[in-house]
Structure 1
Amino acid sequence: MQKNKIPIRPLLAVLGSILSVQIGAAIAKGLFPALGASVTATLRIGLSALMLLAVNRPGLKTLTKVQWRAVIPYGLCLGAMNLIYYLALSRIPLGIAVTLEFMGPLLLVVFSSKRLIEFLWVLLAAAGIALMTPWNNTNIDLFGAGMALLAGAFWAGYIVLGRRVSAVLNGGEAVTIGMLFALIITLPFAFASGGMLNFNSSMIIPAVGLALFCSAVPFSLEMYGLKYIPTKTFSILMSMEPAVGAICGLIFLKEYLSVQEYAAVVLVVIASVGATIGNRENIGKIAPDV
């Protein structure tokens, strides 16, 4: 084993997934006024599932019981995470939503860490989150904030379940089948909202872009990254989500940052870089077979 050689592609895959998701979130916010959060989430997952089915063509008939037991909860968790996060995103700014959602992966890091240096990076990331979270802002929508925190819990579950399913299925098959089960969660809410009646031809291109940027591309990249990067390292790398979310919110949604939020971005990026460098000896390990 070459301990000094860092596999760059898994790292780039995770970073690419982060940027892709935030661009997609900005697209989603443009669809919320007409379609609502649940319909937008369903479009995201449904179109992504169709794209992935065409590309990957998973062999559903050949899956073993072990594989089904891994992919079903993964897919259901994926659907819940997306639906709940979009409910949050429809009520609060992108940077705040991502920051609150990140509490789930952050707590996962805390519970899985064993070395003291890892707690330093967690504390830095936590400080960044604290700066980006306007707890003293009485105008923040409490339901939206609560949904973002709940989405964070499902995000932590997605990381754990994604690690498990990546050990028994290749990334393409896992994401594709997972998307089908994610639809089971979102479809009832989409039909109940009545927002599907508002969909028209002018929304086709944004909907396709949403599916590509939010699901098809990033989840495939994440599954590849999870195959090679330990869960705790992956989780701290994802601490870049609040920073990227705030930047994308500024660029695409004109959600301007305060000096306090810029300071938070710096802390979160430092934590991410420190975690990556500090765990370089673990990054190349393959997930064990089940």
Structure 2
Amino acid sequence: MTTGSARQGAFMAIAAMLIVQLGAAIAVELIDDLGAVGVAWLRLAWAGLILLAIVRPRPTHFTRSSFVACVLLGAATAGVTILFMLAVARIPLGTASALEFLGPLGVAVAKGSGRGRFVWPAAAGLGVVLLTEPWTGSVDPIGVLFALAGALCWASYILLTQRVGDEVAGLRGLAISMPVAALVASLAAGPATFGRLTPELLLIGLGLAILLPVIPFALELLALRRLTTAAFGTLMSLEPGFAMLMGLLILHQVPALFGVVGIALVVVAGVGATSNGARTAPVPAEVG
């Protein structure tokens, strides 16, 4: 795979991150109406319906192994979405995103090679510390725990997304994983959430589902066909910076000086991670 392909993958990943954080900032405004889990469920439910209607997956599109991978990806997707919303209900958007980034950072270290395996993740990790300022002791510990649990789900999401992207052609994998994520979220949300729905909230949820997760998750799947998991994981270091930017513009969460320095570090790490991150194009089992 060429450097050009790696750049394409990086562009897709960056576009996905921007859209994710924009959608997350808007979703935070709905927490008072539906609760954190309810907002996550509404997005995933619409996303599952949209992908089923557009893609229309069939049993012949999957092997047993690839179908199981899609189901597991759905569970990981639900975990990432629900835990992130629970985190941002308690701590700033940029802080929650930075803590969740520890998942992709772990993937970058585990899957990387050469000097960049530790250099870029180390730079990104330092940036995350500056973003969160743990020494101040002012961050809600429950919110931090939710974000750290989300980090584990995010690491699983990256590995499973690449596997599904390799084994299943097009967006058919997402057409299975997203409805599974919606079912998991439905169990977590419970009947109380459904009773709080209004026509206006349903329409807002439809728009949010397109903004997050349909478009960004599709872009991430395509990006992981072009990038190694190590490069993708470190490139995700840009996301806390985007989250802080959206938090400032939409939620009026003003970053401290250390946060600005942290953004600079994670941006440098993200750019460096893509310099040697191309991978051979996969051939889905269905095609091969």
The TM tier, using the shorter chain, reads over 0.9
The answer to whether the Cα contact below 8 Å between 2:168 and 2:284 also exists between their aligned partners in 1 is no
How far does residue 139 in structure 1 lie from its aligned partner after superposition? 3.3
The Cα offsets for residues 8-51 of structure 1, whole Å up to 9 and x where unpaired, read as 43222111110010011011101100100111111110101111
Letter in 1 for 2:77: L
Which stretch has the larger CA shift, 119-128 or 163-172? 163-172
Instruction: Give TM-score, length-normalised by structure 1.
Output: 0.93
Deviation at 1:289, TM superposition (A): 5.2
- Which secondary structure does the structure 2 equivalent of 1:182 belong to? helix
Partner of 2:132: 133
1:76 and 1:184 in contact (8 A); partners too:
no
How many pairs align?
Answer: 285
Whether the 8 Å CA contact 2:5–2:226 is kept in 1: the answer is no
CA distance in 2, matches of 1:97, 1:224: 25
Verify the 8 A CA contact 1:108 1:156 in the aligned structure 2. yes
Aligned to 1:251: 249
Give the superposition deviation at 1:204: 3.3
Matching residue within 274, 279, 286 for 2:281: 286
What is the distance in 1 between the residues matched to 2:84 and 2:3? 38
Pairing of 1:189-228 with structure 2 (within 5 A): 189-191=188-190, 194-228=192-226
Q: Which residue is equivalent to 1:64?
A: 63
Cα pair 1:171 1:223 within 8 Å, conserved: no
Determine the structure 1 residue equivalent to 2:261: 263
Aligned-pair CA distance for 1:117: 2.7
After TM superposition, list the pairs within 5 Å mapping 1:150-161 onto structure 2. Answer: 150-161=149-160
How far does residue 203 in structure 1 lie from its aligned partner after superposition? 2.0
Inter-partner Cα distance in structure 1 for 2:36 and 2:45:
14
CA-based RMSD: 1.7
Q: Of the candidates 233, 236, 248, which is equivalent to residue 235 of structure 1?
A: 233
Seen in structure 2, the aligned counterparts of structure 1 residues 123 and 54 have a Cα distance that, compared at 3 Å, is same
Q: Provide the C-alpha distance between the structure 1 equivalents of 2:122 and 2:36, rounded to a whole number of angstroms.
A: 33
Task: Check whether the contact 1:238–1:272 (CA below 8 A) recurs between aligned residues.
Answer: yes
Match of 1:254, SS?
coil
Any gaps of 5 or more consecutive residues in structure 1?
none
Q: How many percent of aligned residue pairs carry the same amino acid?
A: 31
* 1:119 counterpart = 2:123: no
2:9 is equivalent to residue 10 of structure 1: yes
CA positional deviation for 1:242: 0.5
Q: CA shift at 1:64, angstroms?
A: 2.4
Q: Which amino acid aligns with 1:49?
A: G
Gaps of 5+ in 2: none
- In the TM superposition, what is the alpha-carbon distance from 1:248 to its structure 2 partner? 0.7
